[in-house]
Chain A
Amino acid sequence: MAEHIETAQPGLAHAAPPMPRLAGWRGFFSDWASDQRAFKNVSWMKAMMWIFLLSDTFIFSCFLLSYMTVRISTTVPWPNPSEVFSLHIGGQNVPLILIAIMTFILISSSGTMAMAVNYGYRRDRTKTALLMIATALFGATFVGMQAFEWTKLIMEGVRPWGNPWGAAQFGSSFFMITGFHGTHVTFGVIFLFIIARKVLRGDFDHERRGFFTSRRGNYEIVEVMGLYWHFVDLVWVFIFAFFYLW
């Protein structure tokens, strides 16, 4: 017992030689069975972002589940999203075209973000920052198009408590789900600009301390930012499939 306390002094844990890491299922069980940290080669900020994203997954799952529940249980026909979200282009009604363009824009932003992470680890300041700004601009375009979509639907009489085409639950599901997703995109855009500025200023090369945490940052923050951004894209994949296409 006394020996145990002595070896548990702070600092000693870091000095101990690293244990060999097992792969596959043996690694899975030995990682979880250890009494210190389960995520061996993942930094705290990456692990915490993943855990946050897991909790966010449950939030969006609940929204999509409530949407499923009200859509199944209503006796009134559900409005046809293909027609509701169509646009008049060149005298023709093109179904769902705005949503398709928004999907492509969000996917493109994920592409630029993935490359920004890559250039971040190569310590290429300019390319990382430019790709992050491109990502943010794609995101801002997405939010702008969503604002256009909301305006159009509100002008046509869609409200959370009713709409001209069918089940009243359509409006409440639409505003709740797309509103929450749009909020996520908006916050992503804000943080992309903040971190792009830090990258451009060289904060992660000179290990400048953050104004809020007073900690020295490093380029891994670009990857963690990327995880959040890809998650926003991921949620849209599910919203696109279940709300717009179903």
Chain B
Amino acid sequence: MSQATMAHGSAAPTAAVQRDTHQQHPIKLYLVVWGWLFVLSTASYLVDYFHLEGYLRWSLILLFMILKAGLIVAVFMHMAWERLTLIYAILAPPILVLVFVGIMAFESEYTLFTRIFTGAGS
């Protein structure tokens, strides 16, 4: 992280107006990321277009989703150049949502089980 910050600092063209909160990167970087987001979106659309099913479908959807989200947060939202303190303050709490996902998946499986065995509800 410190290496990335230093590289970013030395590459900054306008040192006079440069404060350390400012994010200044070459336009080309954004265009490359933009291109990759297009490629990844096309790829995830093709997953549906070619009717891939089962675990292959789900793993590809998740893979493309995580790559896209990572590119947006890291480059477009400049998270890659922030200090660890901000990165962990913002990115660590949503990981706890995964615990919530586990709880609710367990709960809804149970609901489904009771619905099948009592024949009630939908």
Interface residues of B in 59-116 (CB under 8 A from A): 61-62, 64-65, 68-69, 72-73, 75-78, 82-86, 88-90, 93-94, 97, 100-101, 104-105, 107-109, 111-112, 115-116
The interface centre, meaning the residue of B21, B51, B85, B86 with most chain A CB atoms within 10 A of its CB, is B85
Does B10 interact with chain A (Cβ within 8 Å)?
A: no
A108 to B34, CA, bound (A): 7
Asked, given contacts A47-B86, A54-B90, A233-B72, whether A118 binds B101 with beta carbons under 8 Å apart, the answer is no
- Chain A residues whose C-beta falls within 8 Å of the C-beta of B57 in the assembled complex: 245
Q: Which residue of B lies closest to A68 (CB)?
A: B104
CB A131 to nearest CB in B, in angstroms, measures: 11
Asked if residues A107 and B38 are in contact (CB atoms below 8 Å), the reply is yes
The interface centre, meaning the residue of B30, B31, B116 with most chain A CB atoms within 10 A of its CB, is B30
CB A189 to nearest CB in B, in angstroms, measures: 18
The 7 closest A-B pairs by CB, nearest first: A23-B2, A111-B34, A73-B111, A241-B65, A72-B108, A73-B108, A31-B85
Does A173 interact with chain B (Cβ within 8 Å)?
A: no
Asked if residues B104 and A69 are in contact (CB atoms below 8 Å), the reply is yes
Asked if residues A39 and B122 are in contact (CB atoms below 8 Å), the reply is no
Interface residues of A in 114-144 (CB under 8 A from B): 114-115, 117-118, 121-123
Give the dominant DSSP class at A's interface.
helix
Interface residues of A in 205-239 (CB under 8 A from B): 220, 223, 226-227, 230-231, 233-234, 237-238
* Known contacts A27-B85, A111-B37, A226-B77, then 7 further A-B pairs from the complex at CB < 8 Å, ordered by chain A residue: A50-B89, A54-B93, A58-B94, A65-B97, A110-B34, A223-B23, A245-B57
Does A36 interact with chain B (Cβ within 8 Å)?
A: no
Asked if residues A41 and B122 are in contact (CB atoms below 8 Å), the reply is no
A168 to B121, CA, bound (A): 11
Q: Which residue of B lies closest to A54 (CB)?
A: B90
Number of B residues near A (Cβ < 8 Å) is: 63
Asked, given contacts A73-B112, A104-B41, whether A96 binds B48 with beta carbons under 8 Å apart, the answer is yes
CB B1 to nearest CB in A, in angstroms, measures: 6
Which size bracket describes the interface of A in this complex?
Answer: 35 or more
A108 to B109, CA, bound (A): 39
The interface centre, meaning the residue of B1, B84, B88 with most chain A CB atoms within 10 A of its CB, is B84
A237 to B72, CA, bound (A): 10
**A/B interface sample: 14 pairs, CB < 8 A:** A24-B84, A28-B84, A42-B21, A42-B86, A57-B93, A57-B94, A69-B107, A95-B48, A107-B41, A118-B25, A168-B122, A230-B73, A245-B44, A245-B48
Interface residues of A in 156-209 (CB under 8 A from B): 167-168
Asked if residues A39 and B86 are in contact (CB atoms below 8 Å), the reply is yes
Asked, given contacts A69-B108, A104-B41, A115-B30, whether A238 binds B65 with beta carbons under 8 Å apart, the answer is yes
